[in-house]
Structure 1
């Protein structure tokens, strides 16, 4: 009898051990490897019918992107879930695999919810175990020089050396394409992307970046600021992890004030904002012990589930109202600036910043004295205001040559139609009058900024197979903020259309001299225009080449497509045969 009891006890102990994560088995000092993460979720899906591990499209490393779906009712069809009016919470881990708290916390949270039968009734939880699979496979203990553990971890860049948290619009990686497939299939109301911070030292283990309130559709912004954020802060303080907004210092140290973080669409939560999804980037503090960082992340994810369950009906109603409002919205802000006049007082718990001689250079260096903690008010600037607002057209016309643009629109649930016959259509076309281009590449691109456009009404031929995108959809923000070239993360700024910036024809000066003389002789208005330009630019009067170039660019010989942005804006509706 004693032997049987021993065997049963041994088997129970082995089962408990088998369900432990590598983080737990290592006394909370190590993070799971990619193989261990997937094995853990495969075992959960095999053991519990409320869990399903789904594979989606490839990543740049050749492995599929996984999604664990936790559904109390064992319903794993996203269409059916929407019909049943359930909320979807999407948790993304390992976009930067050197910041792995979310990877380990989600493994334990999924197990505990299943094992303890605590899955929420009206909330389906979707977990991406590791987004940057490429990076987690590139494992070391040195790439995060400022971080306190774990023992080893992944790398920020993927196998093409992209930072995937800058790739949500340009979509250079297969990872981004597969993520967007997941996101637009499941259409979460709430999104959480787990991270670890860099920067100043302070007393908090967890900081938080929410989708910026000023960018959100007002119905969602009101719920975020008045209900959701207060609940998160209150509950986390109860659980022993008082939070603070992400410490984005205006100067070297946070005691001089911090600003809100304005995530443009290249970032995960900026991207989700385009779809009226409230997003969060929790950032644990890099210098806190790894076990505390994982525990804080676990408790925050648990809190999201509780609050989404509590407010499930309201969150669903808000999302529906926001989608309907965006479909009717006429004006869209495509660039923002910080309001430096408007600040609030924020109680901040930091460490005193001091200077001491560097043992490296002998010069003064910054350090934070943990023996001198402080609690004091600092300034918090968290209001952004529009710096550029665009009136939407009735529709955009996209020549079929620009296939990647169309593919990304379709991937993001944008309804795209095609012309069935050739037609000459009156449209507003932009000419790119000015722009700045980065001197060094950023994430594989020489990014454009400060774009200035000149709108011109033209009757242009479009052809059967060209695309029409009406701007009357719940995805209007994605449409406008990618297709308007002045938008911060437009396809134009990410170099999708750089071919239009180069001339394809020119002239030989010795031949064009005679043509230019004839043009000036027959066109007094052109001669007057040249003289005014010379008066405004005295150096031009001494530069015959510049004068010839001016005449060329103001004549019919100059190609009409040079610097013309190829996507037309339909300003007046007209009958077109579409499919």
Structure 2
């Protein structure tokens, strides 16, 4: 049955010459290319078609092998600046972030070949340059096995989700612990794509669709881009995929036993690829094929999705460019920025969902009721799609952030992602806004090598601070990555550098006191400072537990004394609100 289906799928496009068939095409529909086969195939294409296809190394990975960049254009132009001057849109396709989900790896090999070999398809490159990362998680692709994707129907062997450092790279776009992520950031900033696509395979429920789709959350985009995505780009993609016999549905994520309870749009914070792309006004997509469908239709659905995306970006080139320009203009003038989001359950769309009835039967393992999806009972029915998010935390944009040079790791990440850091050449004393951490929660278990902070409560103070030669100033000008800077340097943002633990050393007190010594110092301080004494007495009246706790009162006096260390719980990145350039007086 699989062989017949695979043969039928091959008939939808011209059969390539035998010497140009990919390992997927020669392997009976259940084979994905190895890393060596994939790179060798692109090298072969580059040698044969240099007028349309260029391939280069794009930086290191944790596996010790390079990331590769493949560029397809109408005239062999692989220069981003020249591409922009020619008014071409840039479609950036990244594959193999989870190499156990390899459909995009094989589909992109086929698409690249067809774009250079088939004159009809080659025309699609007239106004769109395609950048392909053949394999992002090189490390995981080299770790080939046939068992780790327990929920998945083929291929026969595939790569592993984690990279060489056991990192999930689709949680690494902000913290950039991996060399893979650092190389990607440089490549993304080099091209500044209009549309970004990262190919995946789903987990979760069973349903009739081969292809589901995560699009950048429209609520999080600038209004012009969000409107364009919802009213033009997405409808065209869904319509074209339906015409190609691959009906799609929004990614199947739900808060119940089965999808009929309502689909919930995925909130891709900046740790994820599409969330990262949105920080730079790039529309992102994660096509997710269904893991229980056979591998051959999953690859062909991915091929057709990528082809559809190329067709649609070309057809809507001017509308896309206008939306992005309007978004960039709006971003340059924006003064307040959302930093965290929550699903708005008062709003929903309705989609006609093609599923299977969910039923229960006794488990052969436990004897307890277990869920199964009944393929003998398919249905199509309206299902709510909750697709609107509302901001829950926001911050006003400063003129600049000032970062002490001691935090060089943060400075390095900022530079890699398009920020310009201006080192001070002289000592500067200026009024700035600073944050103090009053409360936060920390995850009890490690997550991607970090203990994440959340529910962050801040106290804001205006202080006169002195900065030294070599400290960095990051100005939030129209040409800077404003939203990226806000969502990484504002500590209350979901995926800020603080949330990921880059500033944890300020959360530990370095000096303290011995009670019997500080008792006399505290008493003297209260005698000399009647206002502080009055504040203490008011707290004791308001809080009987505090009034009966001598140690707590002594600690309070210490925290409000000159002996208390200034750096404890003080966020080291300052917000400057002045005009022009920060300079010595």
Aligned to 2:21: 20
**TM-score, normalising length from structure 1?**
0.95
Choose from 360, 364, 371 the match for 1:359: 364
Question: What's the counterpart of residue 250 of structure 1?
Answer: 255
Match among 520, 542, 554 for residue 548 of structure 1 = 554
The Cα shift of 1:318 comes to 2.2
Q: Which of 81, 100, 103 is 1:101 aligned to?
A: 103
Indicate conservation of the 8 Å contact 2:59/2:66, yes or no. Answer: yes
Q: Distance between the aligned counterparts of 1:526 and 1:577, measured in 2?
A: 36
Distance 1:267 1:97 in 2: 16
For residues 521 and 312 of structure 1, what CA distance do their matches in structure 2 show? 73
Aligned match for 2:272, one of 254, 267, 280: 267
Q: What RMSD, in angstroms, separates the aligned Cα atoms of the two structures? A: 1.4
TM-score (norm 2): 0.95
Give the alignment partner of residue 161 of structure 1, picking from 163, 166, 170.
166
Distance 2:391 2:549 in 1: 42
Choose which of 524, 528, 534 in structure 1 pairs with 2:530: 524
Alpha-carbon shift at residue 574 of structure 1 (Å): 5.3
5+ residue gaps, structure 1: 1-14
Q: Please, which of 44, 54, 65 is the counterpart of residue 56 of structure 2? A: 54
Q: How does 1:501-512 map to 2 (within 5 A)?
A: 501-512=507-518
Quick one: distance in 2 between partners of 1:576 and 1:128? 40
Aligned partners of 2:556 and 2:32: how far apart in 1? Answer: 63
Assess if the C-alpha contact under 8 Å between 1:414 and 1:473 holds in 2: no
**Matched residue, 1:563:** 569
For residues 294-443 of structure 1, the aligned pairs below 5 Å read 294-443=299-448
- What is the aligned partner in structure 2 of residue 533 from structure 1? 539
User: Measured at CA, do residues 360 and 165 of structure 1 come closer, stay the same or move farther in structure 2, by a change above 3 Å?
Assistant: same
Structure 2 stretches of 5 or more lacking a match?
1-15
Give secondary structure in 1 for the equivalent of 2:229.
helix
Q: Is 2:209 aligned against 1:204? A: yes
Q: Distance in 2 between matches of 1:269 and 1:213?
A: 11
- The 2-side partners of 1:188 and 1:521 are apart by 64
Aligned to 1:88: 90
TM superposition shift of 1:522: 2.3
Answering whether residue 44 of structure 2 is matched by residue 38 of structure 1, we say no
Query: In the aligned structure 2, how far is the partner of 1:56 from the partner of 1:533?
Result: 60
Tell me how far apart the structure 2 counterparts of residues 577 and 262 of structure 1 sit (CA, whole Å): 41
Q: For residue 524 of structure 1, report the CA deviation from its aligned partner.
A: 2.4
Cα distance, 1:58 vs structure 2: 0.5
Q: Can you list the C-alpha shifts for 1:7-40, whole angstroms capped at 9, x where unaligned?
A: xxxxxxxx93221111111111111110000000
Q: How many pairs were matched up?
A: 565
Q: Distance in 1 between matches of 2:538 and 2:291?
A: 61
Q: CA deviation at 1:539?
A: 3.2
User: How far apart, CA to CA, are the structure 2 residues paired with 1:241 and 1:531?
Assistant: 72
Is the 1:328–1:472 contact (alpha carbons within 8 Å) kept by the matching residues of 2?
A: no
Distance in 2, Cα, partners of 1:54 & 1:465: 35
Contact 2:356–2:375 under 8 Å retained in 1: yes
2: CA distance between counterparts of 1:334 and 1:298? 35
8 Å Cα contact 1:204-1:285 kept in structure 2: yes
Q: Tell me the residue number matched to 2:219.
A: 214
Q: Distance in 2 between matches of 1:537 and 1:224?
A: 54
Corresponding residue of 1:111: 113
1:500 maps to which of 506, 511, 522 = 506
Residue 463 of structure 1: how far off its partner (Å): 1.1
**SS of the counterpart of 1:372?**
strand
SS in 2 for 1:528: helix
Separation (CA, whole Å) in 2 of partners of 1:333 and 1:71: 37
